Structure 1
Amino acid sequence: MCKPQEPMDLPIADLYARLDSAYTAPTMWIAQWVKFFSTKQKPEATLIQFSGDLRAKAETCNFPDDVREKNMIAAFVMGLKDEVATKKLCTKSLATLQDALNAAIEIEMTRKELQMDDVKTEVNKISQKGRKNSQGAGKECYRCGRRNHSPGSCYFRDKRCNTCDEKGHSSRKCPERTSNKYISAEERRPYDIL
């Protein structure tokens, strides 16, 4: 490797350079192209970062000028993490990588807006449902005094009151009991005293 000179006559930096060139495999164009076309958008990467990464990798590929831009567009569309955006971009006429980037950003923003609209609709449905439940839960049943049901479905609807012996309410909500809070023990029925 050093001929016509001897290795001891050469500076160390020159020796390293000769060794690197001898043992480094030459990079083939096909390997660079495969690496370029297999590039995928990373989960945390934005569309702008992904397009920048493709531009940098395209520099090492030595694409012919007439197909360079088309190759970058193809790699961009194939490598997107959003499959819906990939399908939509396949239907568009794109002249440059910048056109593809702008179209992908527009699709991404539209999808986010639609998802936000879906979330807002869902939140409105839940809040409407919550209002209905809280309105029903806030009313007290006149038959028993509880708030977890309506008077029509109350257990005491067909039961007799222990205070007045009338049907349709509990002794807790008895009209006689509430009108005469302090009834003497003699006036109470024998089972009320116990």
Structure 2
Amino acid sequence: MGDEAAPPIIIPTNYGRIDEFDDISEDWIQYTERLNHYFIANNIESMEKQRAILLSACSKKTYKLMRNLSAPQKPGEKIYISTYDDIVKLVTDHQNPKPSSIVQRCKINSRSRQPNESVSQFVAELRQIYEHCDYKATLDDMLRDRLVCGIKEDRIQRRLLAEPGLTFKKAMEVATAMEMAAKNAHDLQVQEPKQVHKVTIRNEECYRCGGSHIATDCKWKDAKCYVCDKKGHLAKKCRNKGKQNAKEKPKFKQQTQQGKVYPKQRPTKTHFVEEDSDDMEDTYTKYQLEGKKSV
């Protein structure tokens, strides 16, 4: 017997986990549904063990609620509330009282598909509301009618109305397929690049000096052109610049002073140099103005 191997130690393995119940992030019914799946996955069939897991896993707030609802007895005492199902029902009746079927039917009759809501999302919302409408055997027919009336898309609605012997299952398949086809076609569509037309901003050019302003605001509007001797523009903008390359040379008269006669002065040869600089124009205009004052 000393050679016999010791039996293997079997360590139970738990599948999944149960968190504390949080009434802010989860509904009580959903929590108990997850708890039931946990019991099935781990082969927990004993009602006493199920009750003990529930009482130990629930939050402090939930346990206090159970105590208040089961007073004067405690949740674990076997007097009136003895089983796991009794405790679950006690909290369910408090947390999720059964809504009025009339109110739920009014909600369902006014429920339509929202602009950014998919067909599957719309149907899921309908099922949730229909849960408390007590339609029972006529549930599928009511879901079909609400889907057709509330789909809010003419193309899908016309197709559903044209379908003979339409059932809720068929309506769901057709609406979902048409929605997916429209989405795929939109994704495959080649978007043509938008044509962009070049817009050239044309600056107003002053005909007096060539600057980017209107002629009435030009500082050279009173200047005298030394090409054509006309007032109101500079030489570089003169229209006669190609016809007349230089201003006529001034004639020098014989000068006399106190009866003395001086010989005529030979004018200095001057070569015309075209200059577009505003400084030259400014100097020339200043010379003109000073000449007027001396006269």
TM-score interval for Structure 1 and Structure 2 normalised by the shorter chain: 0.3 to 0.5
> Which structure dedicates a bigger proportion of its chain to helix?
1
Q: TM-score, normalised to structure 1's length?
A: 0.48
Q: TM-score, normalised to structure 2's length?
A: 0.36
Q: Which has the larger radius of gyration?
A: 2
